[in-house]
């Protein structure tokens, strides 16, 4: 699914730069912000559909909702309006695109809010589930949800959730995300753990003693059999992955 989402971003970005430009050029002669909105809306809807068809996963569906520029804006006529993505912007959820006038006679720069919804299959709660619930197979089902409704992606497979404990309550139909689950403790401080490091064509392993509890996805310090202290990521039961 991650590769599919990257494909969606790439398709939307390419369409933004190629398909929208003619409409912006036509609208640039009108000084009011509403004229630019009108020219942009149709283009956004069209390249959202194109991106959906080109996405790697046929299960993904994309919708774009165009926001409004500040109605008080009166933009000087411009013959070279260029759309662009502000640095760090990704076309995901609530976001924005920039509109910049590059005309030699005048310069302005405004931002248009848009919302990019990406729909795909994910796990949702079958019924209201309280915090502290240990999840079983009957608690969840797979259905289409808006993957972009929150910054973190929802879980898609039962093996990612079954046996895990909810950190917060879920309403019926709510998508299950990693942040909704309690962090697993893979081992306690003082436990013996296995250290592994893997590279291109090689694999190293050893033993050590954890100097702190090993929480899922968090860095932990381990004293090796030689007495050296190294840091690694707690990744499984009594297992620490070390980057060399």
- The model's pLDDT over 138-192, given as tens digits with 9 standing for 90+, comes to 999 999 999 988 888 899 999 999 999 999 999 999 999 988 999 889 999 999 9
Q: Using DSSP, state whether 34 is helix, strand or coil.
A: helix
Closest CA to 123 of 165, 167, 172: 172
Instruction: Give the torsion through C-alpha atoms of 133, 138, 139, 144, to 10 deg.
Output: 160
Is the Cβ–Cβ distance between 130 and 172 less than 8 Å?
no
Pick the CATH number of 120-180 from 3.90.1210.10, 3.40.50.300, 3.30.70.1380, 3.40.50.10860: 3.90.1210.10
Residue 222 has pLDDT above 90, yes or no: yes
pLDDT tier for residue 221 given thresholds of 50, 70 and 90: very high
Q: What is the DSSP letter of 190?
A: T
pLDDT value for 30? 43
Cβ-Cβ contacts under 8 Å for 127 (sequence gap 6 or more): 139, 172
pLDDT tier for residue 122 given thresholds of 50, 70 and 90: very high
pLDDT tier for residue 71 given thresholds of 50, 70 and 90: confident
According to the CATH classification, is domain 185-241 in 2.40.10.120? Answer: no
Q: 2-47 pLDDT, tens per residue? A: 555 545 544 555 444 444 444 444 444 444 566 666 655 666 555 5
In the chain, domain spans: 2-119, 120-180, 185-241
* Residue scoring higher pLDDT (2 or 204): 204
Mean pLDDT of the chain: 80
Residue 203 has pLDDT above 70, yes or no: yes
Instruction: Kindly report the pTM of this predicted structure.
Output: 0.66
Average pLDDT over residues 89-100: 82
Helical ranges in 19-156 per DSSP H:
21-27, 33-54
Residue 90 has pLDDT above 80, yes or no: no
């Amino acid at each position: 699914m991650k590769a599919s989402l990257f494909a969606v971003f790439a398709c939307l970005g390419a369409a933004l730069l190629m398909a929208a430009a003619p409409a912006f050029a036509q609208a640039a002669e009108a000084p009011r912000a509403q004229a630019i909105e009108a020219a942009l809306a149709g283009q956004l809807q069209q390249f959202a559909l194109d991106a959906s068809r080109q996405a790697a996963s046929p299960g993904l569906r994309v919708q774009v909702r165009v926001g409004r520029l500040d109605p008080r804006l009166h933009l000087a006529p411009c013959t070279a309006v260029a759309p662009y993505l502000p640095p760090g912007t990704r076309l995901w959820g609530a976001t924005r695109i920039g509109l910049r006038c590059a005309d030699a006679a005048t310069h302005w720069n405004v931002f248009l809010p848009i919302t990019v919804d990406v729909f795909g299959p994910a796990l949702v709660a079958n019924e209201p589930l309280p915090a502290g619930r240990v999840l079983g197979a009957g608690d969840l089902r797979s259905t289409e949800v808006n993957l972009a409704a929150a910054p973190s992606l929802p879980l898609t497979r039962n093996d990612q959730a079954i046996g895990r404990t909810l950190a917060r309550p879920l309403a019926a139909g709510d998508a299950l995300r990693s942040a909704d689950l309690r962090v697993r403790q893979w081992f306690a401080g003082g436990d013996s753990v296995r250290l592994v490091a893997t590279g291109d064509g090689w694999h190293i392993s050893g033993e050590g003693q954890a100097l702190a509890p090993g929480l899922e996805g968090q860095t932990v310090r381990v004293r090796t059999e030689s007495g050296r202290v190294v840091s690694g990521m707690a990744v499984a039961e009594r297992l620490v992955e070390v980057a060399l």
